[in-house]
Structure 1
Amino acid sequence: MFAFSTAFIMVVLAEMGDKTQLLAMAFATKYPWKKVMFGILVATILNHFVAIAAGIYLHSFIPKDIVELVASIAFIVFGLWILKDDELGNEAEKNHFSIFWTVAIAFFLAEMGDKTQLATVALSAQIGADMLSILVGTTLGMLVADGLGILLGATLHKYVPDRVIKKFASLIFILFGAVGILHAMNIINLY
């Protein structure tokens, strides 16, 4: 029970105001909340499993700066994609699997090298044998924190015009991408 509760509390607190919580909010303004939450669930399970099983060794194969750089570029692409009204966006809304994959891939990339993933690696290295409790705790913690972001995003969608939300969400993605690139290139220090 210690591993589960520690993992849960750690992730809920670390995720508050994090880029993935803002990502959940942005996706909830565009897509149905259930599809967003399912994408988050699958991405989180996969990401945190990787963190628990192999995250300790990941830095020896792929430098954290490279992972952060790729994720940051993806954020800028997602930000620009939000602004573009084309058939691809309409197809994603018609095809339920496209929404799921868009959310799942964005979350998986956003979590790579993120503080919640690194905290999961550290916790699993510290606690060791109770991997399932850590995975369940970190996943539920992520769902609770991002669920709050989804609730806020869905509420905003009811009261704020779509074009304003799109511009704001795009700006957030591009801003996080730009800051991530600067950090990956050691131009700015975030920690």
Structure 2
Amino acid sequence: MMHYFCSDGMEIPMGLAKAFPQIQMVDQRSTLHVSSGAAIVWLHLRPGRTVGQQVQALKQQVPGAYFVGMSDLPNDLEALAVFSVMAKGYCNTHAGAEVLLNVASVVQQGGVWIGESLMQKLLGMPPAAPQLDMVAETWSGVLTGRETEVAKAIAVGATNKQIAAQMGITERTVKAHVGAVLDKLKLKNRLQLALLVKDR
């Protein structure tokens, strides 16, 4: 199994270098030809672009590889966005070699490394309320066009600032839309919204 680290300007993290001494640097312009499942690309996620944009661009250049998102400040919404674009794992950029070896082992065996924090939140979530079951298949029909755009952007990990820039509106307006979406769908937070929207 080959390992590659993709980043704009960051050197290979110490944990990756220790876990995989033969790891190579690649950038967003690299095109690699690898057999399906024969390589893992560790992608250093950058602020300013959505996770979807970053992963999809690299998938076109390395179509046969597995992808693991690496974040300097991991959070559950970003993790969901990573998994929504079919990446195989998500972890801290500065994780230790032992953790990274575990991630690689799970990914190589066809699994997904979801991380303890997100797993606990997903397992600890209460069952969906009856009204949520009713809107699960038609959630967008409950929302306005703008609210649907905001909901879909949240599902791929966009921040309020990114959504505002994409839609040409203020962050304050985005916050108002988010509040309306959560209220209409009877959800408590963005994580629940992302889970509802991401597969539909």
Normalization by structure 1: what TM-score? 0.28
Q: Which has the higher helix share?
A: 1
Which structure is higher in RCO with an 8 Å CA cutoff and minimum separation 6? 1
Q: Which has the higher strand share?
A: 2
Larger radius of gyration: 2
